[in-house]
Amino acid sequence: MPEVMFAGPDGRLEGRYHHAKQSNAPVALVLHPHPLHGGTMNNRVVHALYTRFQNMGFSTLRFNFRGVGRSQGRYDGGIGEISDAAAALDFLQAVNPNASMLWVAGYSFGSYVGMQLLMRRPEIGGFVSIAAPASHYDFGFLAPCPCSGLILHGADDELVPEASVRKLVDKLNTQRGIKIDYRVQEGAGHVFTAEQTERVAAAAEDHVHTMLNRARMAMAAD
């Protein structure tokens, strides 16, 4: 996992990057939880998602938001962090100019940032949102949601009630052409155990494989 430093809007950002061997491999950006609550790119769920995307043949990047680890700058209430994610996407696209597809994945605060990025970058073709903080942030900006994706939540999440996420999913699924793959993990809270994390990563891999296969079939039919 080569260490990379790339330019962000408020200084250099620290990341870990895996470059796929295939020249037109899909790419994935993985975003970590809240910087003020211990979130880093080394978070268990973030690392597991990064590894799964890597194993699926993606060029994959995880990085620290501003003010975390060796990333420069200071926490900016989410606004600057969205700009950080956009800079990370710029880096990914610069080193993968022929990428066949682009995905964004995030956990907790990272899923909020990822969904914001989704609205700003139409080239993103899929997303994975884990423990989306639907009761803490207004996700009304997803109108319309630009693409389908996976939303996974713990049934016993003590910080973000599952009902608030289900309400968001139901709203998104009414949008034309959008299908949210919603999965609830029984017995899981907001912070996942090692065993639960593996199930989260497996669910993400299952969803991504399904979407990639669907895309390949659509291309073959053309």
125-156 pLDDT per residue, tens: 999 999 999 999 999 999 999 999 999 999 99
Tokens (6 digits) for 183: 């999965």
How do strand 59-63 and strand 11-18 relate by DSSP bridges? Answer: antiparallel
12-28 pLDDT per residue, tens: 999 999 999 998 999 99
pTM to 2 decimal places: 0.97
Q: Which amino acid is at 201?
A: A
CA distances from 14 to 41, 63, 75, 132, 138 (A): 9, 6, 15, 24, 28
